[in-house]
Amino acid sequence: MTPALRRLHPSPTAATTVREAYDVTRRPLPGRPWIGVCMVASLDGSVAVDGTSGALGNDNDMAVLHTLRQLADVIIVGAGTVRGEGYGPPEKAGQRIGVVTNSGRVDVSTPLFTTGAGFLIAPHSATIDGSVEVLRAGDDLVDLTEAVGRVVEIDAGTRYVQAEGGPTLNGALLADDLIDEIDLTISPRLAGGAGPRLTVGAPERIRGYDLAHLLADDDGFVFTRWVRSANT
């Protein structure tokens, strides 16, 4: 049974639902869609155990991921996560998933691509094997700012892009100041090991985020939603 969920902030409630909490207005920015990063992390800040995030989540965390997917227009994800977690096509009819890669080394024979849902976001220099739609941005490395600005070429009218990691893609989004929202589930578990943090590789610089909501469930999972602070 899915553990009961309550809201602690704002305006505490005895009960809420994932849909009620996460189905909020998100407005595109000038020249690009709103971008939200959805991740789960352990108490010690790891986002991967044994190469996947599966051991960190629970039913409510999966509901957060799937609800945000329903609300988002386009999903983007790093090639490492697709290679490690075996991404399939989305549940939402017609939704597109952009796999970000510099190398172009992505298996496009999987259902993610054969269903027509998957496309690649790659630099002009990347050699792509197989027949797949490619959004080219950047010469030798993906220019993410250009890519998210042009995602409407893939899905016209895109207002909200959900970024589903991993840490390298998140770090690149952060480096380009493209993270408008962070939907972070905190798992009540220590992971140890050498798993990466939520972002990897971005230059060290403090950016502020405001707490939009804080939920908790009976399993001890904490569900946070953060929005880029107007003051940074």
Ligand X SMILES: NC(=O)c1ccc[n+]([C@@H]2O[C@H](COP(=O)([O-])OP(=O)(O)OC[C@H]3O[C@@H](n4cnc5c(N)ncnc54)[C@H](OP(=O)(O)O)[C@@H]3O)[C@@H](O)[C@H]2O)c1
- The neighbour count for residue 58, using CB atoms within 10 Å, is 17
Q: How many residues bind ligand X (CB under 6 A)?
A: 31
Grouping H, G, I as helix, E, B as strand and the rest as coil, residue 22 is helix
Which helix (H) or strand (E) segment holds residue 181: the answer is strand 181-186
Beta bridge partners of 213: 225
Which is closer to ligand X, CB of 1 or CB of 49? 49
Q: Which amino acid is at 141?
A: L
Indicate whether 142 belongs to the interface with ligand X (CB under 6 A).
yes
- The neighbour count for residue 152, using CB atoms within 10 Å, is 16
Question: What is the pattern of x (binds ligand X, CB under 6 A) and - over residues 2-41?
Answer: -------------------------------------xx-
- CA–CA distance, 19 with 24 (Å, rounded to integer): 9
Indicate whether 103 belongs to the interface with ligand X (CB under 6 A).
yes
Indicate whether 105 belongs to the interface with ligand X (CB under 6 A).
yes
Grouping H, G, I as helix, E, B as strand and the rest as coil, residue 150 is coil
Stretch touching ligand X by CB under 6 A, among 28-36, 77-85, 148-156, 213-221: 77-85
For the bound state, the minimum distance from the C-beta of residue 11 to ligand X, rounded and expressed in Å, comes to: 28
- CA–CA distance, 57 with 44 (Å, rounded to integer): 14
For the bound state, the minimum distance from the C-beta of residue 225 to ligand X, rounded and expressed in Å, comes to: 14
- The tokens 């510099």 sit on which residue? 102
Which residues inside 40-59 make contact with ligand X, applying CB under 6 A? 40, 47-48, 51-53, 56
* Site residues, ligand X (CB under 6 A): 39-40, 47-48, 51-53, 56, 78-81, 84-85, 100-103, 105, 141-142, 144, 164-169, 172, 196, 200
